[in-house]
Amino acid sequence: MKHAAACLLVLTWFGCLSAAASTPNLLLIYVDDLGYGDLGHYGHPVIKTPNIDQLAASGVTLTQYYAPSPLCSPSRAALLTGRHPYRTGIQSWIPHGSGIHLKDEELTLAEMLADNGYQTALIGKWHLNSDLGDPGQPQPNDQGFEYFYGHNAFQIPTNRNPTNIYRNREALPTQIGYTAQLYADESIAWLEKQADKPFFLMLSMAEPHTSIENPVEYNNMYKAYSKGPIIPIISGNSEPPKDKLIPRGPGEYYANVTYMDAQIGRVLSWLKHHPDVEQNTIVVFASDNGPVTSDWINWWEVNAYGSTGGFRGRKHYLYEGGIRVPAIIRYPDKIAANSRVSAPVIGTDLFSTLLSWLEIAVPSDRPIDGQDITSVLAPTAGNQAVHPRDFLWALPSESPLEFAVRSADWKLMLDAQHEPRALFDLATDPLELFNLIREHPQQVDKLRHQFLKGLAAIRADPLLNQ
């Protein structure tokens, strides 16, 4: 009887391990201000990103992936909730001390997974409240992340030796190192502890958001693209360092992207050296919004040289350059390696798709804007087609164009008073060079009607009006 009981115990233990192993893990790598054209895989002629390129070779590359917003806070709110950022009340980036935060009532991807037995961690940028030290605002630990190590809006004074890092709810002393390396170290250490449960790790990199510094060897890789001595432009002081605002060329920015790639590569290498874990881990890589290009509009942007891949605009703007960003997904045995998908998808779709893959029901008590795009990413005869839908963006922008709606290949841009200002046919004019608003008045009216209907539904959202 003792032998039988021992056998039953062993079988139960192995059964638990088998069940845990069969439940997919999730590694979500979200990077800050990376442009569509900033990766080697997406065609940058200079920047070397071998690790992200290799990730793409083992998964699917999305060529029309859209960020939910051209700014970080609303984009992150939408990614984690599957809901348009205006539904969550986060319309723009969150200034320090403003009191703006993601509401407790919102259900995040982390909460959904934690409730279903996942170990969850956010390592890196949060920026879904205005103060990591304010107990009156929900913190990452309150919104599904059991472990948190990172910063809020941007790294201070630069991404070297940051002074504004928190662990869970505790402000830490100066952290020695570069944020990319610190976050990779922390990610690997956390992964080492995950053995008996599936995990969800959101690795939210600070790079290539300014202000930046790089190890000397990385700056040297691109010294041909820099001029003059490298003098960091620091953030966090009461006054801008006007004497440091000297254009020095793109070399430091290029180095920052390559350094970020190397540190992401360390985390991916950890998976590679644990093949059973790697085989059972979904990896998603995406940027939160378009890049800061050399068209600087704020002092802290000097010496950022992000590439939109030729698309018009940049971060802060609703042109394609502000919202069309790189995205790669690897799901072994589910998604074909080295494949490409050109269908338009948006960041809110990741919420519904990942929950579907993890066999967790999408919340039914609130509007969810994202769709399950499995049929787009891994088409099979049995997959249901994605329902045709419009994409709607909204942002108090740096330009008069505060709204945009895309339906099929048509994109209409509107001002703050909801008046149409520009119409583009993205099928023939992806660079948005030819405004067709006069040539297609019926199309303008149709898209404006769809926009107004969509915006009204967002503004009537029950959670938004609580």
Residues known to be catalytic: 72, 127
How far apart are the C-alpha atoms of 170 and 166, rounded to whole Å? 5
Q: Which residues pair with 166 in a beta bridge?
A: 150, 171
Q: How many other C-beta atoms are found inside a 10 Å radius of the C-beta of residue 170?
A: 10
Q: DSSP character for 140?
A: G
**Cβ neighbours of residue 22 closer than 8 Å, sequence gap 6 or more:** 280
Q: Which residues pair with 339 in a beta bridge?
A: 60
How far apart are the C-alpha atoms of 312 and 319, rounded to whole Å? 6
Strands 327-330 and 25-31: unpaired
Element (H, E) at 392: strand 391-394
How far apart are the C-alpha atoms of 146 and 148, rounded to whole Å? 7
Is residue 7 within 8 A of residue 297, CB to CB? The reply is no
Main-chain dihedrals φ then ψ at residue 278, nearest 5 degrees = -60, -45
How far apart are the C-alpha atoms of 157 and 434, rounded to whole Å? 42
Burial class (CB in 10 A: 0-12, 13-18, 19+), 66: buried
Q: Token pair for residue 340?
A: 């490409």
How far apart are the C-alpha atoms of 256 and 304, rounded to whole Å? 10
- Alpha helix (H) residue ranges in 165-250: 179-192, 216-221
Q: How many other C-beta atoms are found inside a 10 Å radius of the C-beta of residue 220?
A: 13
Q: Token pair for residue 99?
A: 């009191």
Helix (H, G, I), strand (E, B) or coil at 166: strand
> What secondary structure does DSSP assign to 85-113, as a single string?
HHHHT--S---TTS-----TTSPPHHHHH
How far apart are the C-alpha atoms of 206 and 180, rounded to whole Å? 7
**Cβ neighbours of residue 372 closer than 8 Å, sequence gap 6 or more:** 349, 352, 353, 356, 362, 384, 386
How far apart are the C-alpha atoms of 309 and 324, rounded to whole Å? 10
